[in-house]
Amino acid sequence: MRLSRVLALGASTLVLAGACSTGGGSSSAPAASPASNAPAETSSAPSAPPPEIKIGAVGFDEARVVAEAYAQALEANGYKVNRDGIGLGQRKVLLPALESGQIDLQPEYIGSGLSAGYGGKSTSDPAKNKADLQAALDAKGVNITVLDYTPGVDTNALVVRKETADQYSLAKWSDLTAVADKIKWGLATDCPTNPVCSGALKDQYGIDTTKIDLTLIDPCSTPMSDALKAKTIDVAELCSTDPLIITEGWVRLEDDKQTQPADNISPLVRNDYLAKVDKTSFEKILNDVSAKIDTPTLADLYKQVAVDKKDIKDVAGTWLKAQGLVP
């Protein structure tokens, strides 16, 4: 319903102009002309620094820390990064920003991105989700490339406090149908237009989000968790990797109709930006980061930010160094 290596960038190369000759001995080389007695000219041609890259991300902590990891990996390789788009908004804001060039890169949850962003049908197969998302982007003509996805996977979860689960005998999403109008809901800000949120709840579970006590909150966010803690809401939309589900003893309800996509994370990058850089080395930097983000890593990075209240830049930087991805 949401809308999860250090590679040397060509150091300046010194190009030597003119031929190198050795004196003495016989040689079949032509005799040097008088001009060849002049000092050989040298030309220093430092490669231009890559253009600034503008990175964006949706507003919840897990996506923001992944975006920061990509940002720091690029900075370690000589890229200047603009972070103004990190936390810019939900998918309905972020995707148009990427398509228009307001940002150049965003980490996307590819299952949800396919279904909620481009009208496709997501599956539990990340390779298919990636291929179908790329096909949808190509069909729309937005000139965006989907890079490698993380082995780590997240999915949308509906979570309740234990006392709520006990009171209404809640263990799965279908149990919510009978009590939908008796509890207070906290769902994603894009839920009314998101097919895997309002669409899935209505079509598969018979829950009409226009007829329930609903508060729209950024999903997988501290405000969403705080609302559940404060009993402002009784059911919250959280990420399946949210550590508070464990630390608070909350109950994650089973999506028994299997409506939610498996959301591995891929960087989406504008093709016009890729055309301005060494595409192979640029993609390798990001793909190497993604390859190290498994599900426990996603959960741990998320916990450090959301529960331990550590600075996102510190969390991302410490992890990157531990993985040998930055010096």
CATH number at residue 58: 3.40.190.10
Q: Are residues 177 and 143 in the same domain?
A: no
141 lies in some domain? yes
The amino acid present at 269, given as its one-letter code, is: V
Q: Are residues 147 and 276 in the same domain?
A: yes
Output the pLDDT for position 214.
98
User: Model confidence over 259-283: pLDDT tens digits?
Assistant: 988 899 999 999 999 999 999 999 9
Domain residues for the domain of 193 are: 156-252
Domain of residue 164, CATH code: 3.40.190.120
Residues 41-54, mean pLDDT to the nearest whole number? 72
314 lies in some domain? yes
Of 203, 231, 252, at which residue does a domain stop?
A: 252
243 lies in some domain? yes
Of 206, 223, 252, at which residue does a domain stop?
A: 252
4 lies in some domain? no
**More confident of the two residues 156 and 320:** 320
109 lies in some domain? yes
237 lies in some domain? yes
Output the pLDDT for position 307.
87
Q: Which helix (H) or strand (E) holds 213?
A: strand 213-216
Output the pLDDT for position 60.
85
- Identify which of 34, 33, 30, 86 has the alpha carbon closest to the alpha carbon of residue 57: 86
Q: Are residues 247 and 276 in the same domain?
A: no
Output the pLDDT for position 21.
30
Of 190, 219, 252, at which residue does a domain stop?
A: 252
Domain total for the chain? 2
Confidence band (pLDDT; 50, 70, 90) for 222?
A: confident
Q: What is the dihedral of CA 117, 123, 127, 130, to 10 degrees?
A: -10
Q: Are residues 226 and 303 in the same domain?
A: no
The amino acid present at 221, given as its one-letter code, is: S
Exposure of 166 by Cβ count < 10 A (0-12 exposed, 13-18 middle, 19+ buried)? exposed
Output the pLDDT for position 13.
35
The DSSP call for residue 144 is: E
305 lies in some domain? yes
Output the pLDDT for position 123.
87
Confidence band (pLDDT; 50, 70, 90) for 220?
A: confident
Instruction: Tell me if 61 sits within 8 A of 309, measured CB to CB.
Output: no
Q: Are residues 162 and 149 in the same domain?
A: no
Q: Are residues 279 and 296 in the same domain?
A: yes
Q: Are residues 145 and 59 in the same domain?
A: yes
pTM of the model: 0.73
Q: Are residues 164 and 237 in the same domain?
A: yes
**More confident of the two residues 49 and 27:** 49
User: Model confidence over 103-127: pLDDT tens digits?
Assistant: 999 999 999 999 888 989 888 899 9
Q: Are residues 269 and 246 in the same domain?
A: no
Q: Are residues 147 and 183 in the same domain?
A: no
Q: Are residues 124 and 164 in the same domain?
A: no
Range with the poorest average pLDDT among 6-15, 44-53, 58-67, 282-291? 6-15
Confidence band (pLDDT; 50, 70, 90) for 48?
A: confident
Range with the poorest average pLDDT among 39-43, 218-222, 283-287? 39-43
Query: Where does 18-81 have alpha helices with state H?
Result: 61-76
Residues 180-197, mean pLDDT to the nearest whole number? 94
Q: Are residues 162 and 299 in the same domain?
A: no
Instruction: Tell me if 62 sits within 8 A of 302, measured CB to CB.
Output: yes
Instruction: Tell me if 83 sits within 8 A of 53, measured CB to CB.
Output: no
115 lies in some domain? yes
